[in-house]
Amino acid sequence: MTPPNASTTARERARAELTREIKDEARRQLATAGADGLSLRAVARSLGMVSSALYRYFPSRDDLLTALITDAYNSMGAAVEKAIADVDAGSGGGARGQWTAACRRVRGWAREHPHEYALIYGSPVPGYRAPETTIGPAARVPLAFIGILAGAATPGGADWSLDGRALDGPLAAQAAALAAALAAEGFPETPGDALPAVPGDALVRGVIAWTQLFGMVSFELFGQFVGSFEPADAIFEHAITEMASFVGL
């Protein structure tokens, strides 16, 4: 086997390191200027670079924003997926344990990365439109929650039950379309062992719980609980256990 060209490898390492430094500085600017105040010139100035050099890494502010958004979605996705896997590998807390662990990790990640959370779940950045390349990373967390429901719905499984009014009208059609889209993408499945499709009513309840989760996190991070449910630990724990029951776990 021919060894890799040493000089090329060194250049690649240098480029990767500078790319990381650029993004780290951009994240620091998010904390002070916000996403709409992010400036390539300011990032370059902070790093002691000329703007033309930085443009070779990120041709525009939107390219840099896209990189930060993609990183944020992937970081949260990886954290939630690990939280779910830790339940599988640990106490065997079942689907309900996975659900609550995933919800807690969403909140924990958001509290650890408030400015990145605001970037992906806060107000839209004026003039910026996220490209399709962000869709996959953005889907990691919701697909992780759908995977919990799918795993609980295995034939004969005792983890999942749902009694409620059957869907009808436009909502039933929307739920069926979402289920079909997920199936067309081969989800949900696990390596070597396909999981059953999530019923439409469970998908709808999952979406309602999803908005509840992120509404709670956003209320906490953006100060809407100040003077009422502060700290938010107790109401958050109550909400995620109620939502676990609501989705049938």
Domains belonging to the chain, first-starting first, are 1-59 (1.10.10), 61-246 (1.10.357.10)
Q: What pLDDT is recorded for position 158?
A: 47
Q: Where are the alpha helices (DSSP H) in the chain?
A: 6-33, 40-47, 51-54, 61-89, 94-112, 114-121, 135-152, 169-184, 200-221, 233-246
Question: Model pTM?
Answer: 0.88
Q: What pLDDT is recorded for position 162?
A: 64
Q: What pLDDT is recorded for position 196?
A: 59
Contacts of range 6-15, beta carbons closer than 8 Å, 24 or more positions apart: 15/57
Structure token pair of residue 180 = 């079909």
Closest by CA position to 93, among listed 151, 161, 154: 151
Q: What pLDDT is recorded for position 191?
A: 42
Q: For 206-223, how does the pLDDT look when each residue is reduced to its tens digit (9 = 90+)?
A: 999 999 999 999 999 999
Q: What is the DSSP string of 99-150?
A: HHHHHHHHHHHHHHSHHHHHHHHSSPPTT----GGGHHHHHHHHHHHHHHHH
Q: pLDDT tier at 10 (50, 70, 90 boundaries)?
A: confident
Q: For 64-75, how does the pLDDT look when each residue is reduced to its tens digit (9 = 90+)?
A: 999 999 999 999
Q: For 127-155, how does the pLDDT look when each residue is reduced to its tens digit (9 = 90+)?
A: 999 999 999 999 999 999 988 888 776 65
3-state secondary structure (DSSP) of residue 11: helix
Q: What pLDDT is recorded for position 224?
A: 94
Q: Which residue has the higher pLDDT, 149 or 113?
A: 113
